[in-house]
């Protein structure tokens, strides 16, 4: 793909669900730039101008934005490379056939036996995936206050009973759409619904409780 085509497609997708500013400054010409400006104007209900400044303050702004983007991309690539090495080391340490794509980490918390909650943290090839995090308010009245084993059992039952119901035919590493549940995540676009690895904070008691 040519840079102009990539830029034009990006702008169209980026502003599909948000209103653009009245003036968009680009570092280079986008494909079908005039047509894109007309489409964005219709979408916004006001005139939108897209330009590639050649000199002056606007040119400086565009150049500065481009430099910031390059630096941000460099940092992201470095972070991704580091994360890939960490996952490879994780796989080797635990004897996995390949680096995990989705890791889920679980822990429980309570205040003197009350306000008990469970938490799920998710990590993947690009680091922590915060939009996949979930909190589980412990609902069972049969769990003794402060019973960490019982709380962990409830969290895991809720997490995986829903996941089995929604995506029972899928295997770890398969992708899924968002299940739309406030407690139980079932994928995010191309991100897997099923975990490759589950980590539980605790000891043998927690492990026994959830098996």
CB atoms within 10 A of CB 31: 17
Is residue 98, in this structure, part of any structural domain at all? no
Per-residue model confidence (pLDDT) at position 187: 44
Lowest model confidence (mean pLDDT) among 18-27, 96-105, 187-196:
187-196
Q: Same domain, yes or no, for 79 and 174? A: no
Would you say residue 62 lies in a domain?
yes
State the pLDDT at residue 62. 94
Check whether residue 120 and residue 176 sit in a common domain: yes
Task: Give yes or no for residue 112 having a pLDDT over 80.
Answer: no
Strands 134-137 and 114-124: antiparallel
- Segment 18-36, tens digit of pLDDT: 999 999 999 999 999 999 9
Measured over the CA atoms of residue 154, residue 155, residue 159 and residue 164, the dihedral's sign is negative
Q: Which of 2, 13, 4 is nearest to 34 (CA)?
A: 4
Selected residue with higher pLDDT from 158 and 173: 158
| 172 and 78 co-located in one domain | no
Tell me the C-alpha to C-alpha distance, in Å, between residue 45 and each of 13, 16, 56: 18, 14, 29
Contact (CB, 8 A) for 179 and 185: yes
- Number of structural domains in the chain: 2
- Write down the pTM of the prediction: 0.59
User: Over 90: is that where the pLDDT of 92 sits?
Assistant: yes
Q: pLDDT tens, 117-151?
A: 889 999 988 888 888 899 888 877 777 777 888 88
Among candidate residues 93, 125, 157, the one where a domain is terminated: 93
The angle subtended at Cα 10 by Cα 125 and Cα 188, nearest 5°, is: 35
137 and 204 belong to one structural domain? yes
Q: In angstroms, how far is CA 55 from the centroid of its own chain?
A: 39
Which pLDDT band holds residue 170 (cuts at 50, 70, 90)? low
Q: Between the ranges 55-69, 76-90, 195-209, where is the mean pLDDT highest?
A: 55-69
| Domain coverage including residue 43 | 3-93
Query: Does a structural domain hold residue 150?
Result: yes
- For the stretch 28-60, pLDDT in tens is 999 999 999 999 999 999 999 999 999 999 999
In a domain, 133, yes or no: yes
CA distances to 54, 81, 99, 126, 211 from 89, in Å? 48, 13, 8, 15, 26
Looking at the structure, tell me whether residues 175 and 144 fall in a common domain.
yes
Residue 112 domain flag: yes
Residue 155 included in any domain: yes
């Amino acid at each position: 793909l040519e840079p102009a085509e990539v830029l034009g497609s990006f702008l169209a997708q980026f502003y599909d669900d948000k209103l653009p500013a009245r003036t968009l400054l680009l570092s280079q010409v986008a494909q079908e730039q005039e047509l894109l400006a007309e489409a964005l104007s219709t979408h916004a209900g006001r005139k939108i101008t897209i330009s590639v400044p050649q000199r002056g303050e606007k040119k400086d702004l565009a150049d500065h934005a481009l430099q910031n983007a390059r630096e941000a991309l460099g940092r992201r690539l470095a972070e991704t490379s580091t994360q890939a090495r960490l996952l490879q080391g994780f796989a080797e340490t635990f004897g996995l056939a390949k680096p995990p794509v989705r890791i889920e980490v679980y822990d429980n918390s309570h205040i003197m036996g009350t306000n008990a909650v469970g938490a799920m943290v998710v990590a993947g090839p690009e680091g922590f995936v915060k939009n996949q995090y979930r909190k589980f308010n412990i609902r069972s009245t049969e769990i003794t206050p402060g019973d960490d084993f019982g709380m962990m059992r409830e969290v895991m039952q809720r997490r995986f009973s829903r996941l089995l119901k929604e995506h029972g035919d899928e295997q770890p590493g398969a992708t899924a759409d968002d299940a739309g549940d406030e407690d139980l995540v079932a994928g995010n676009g191309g991100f897997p619904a099923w975990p490759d690895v589950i980590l539980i904070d605790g000891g043998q008691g927690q492990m026994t409780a959830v098996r």
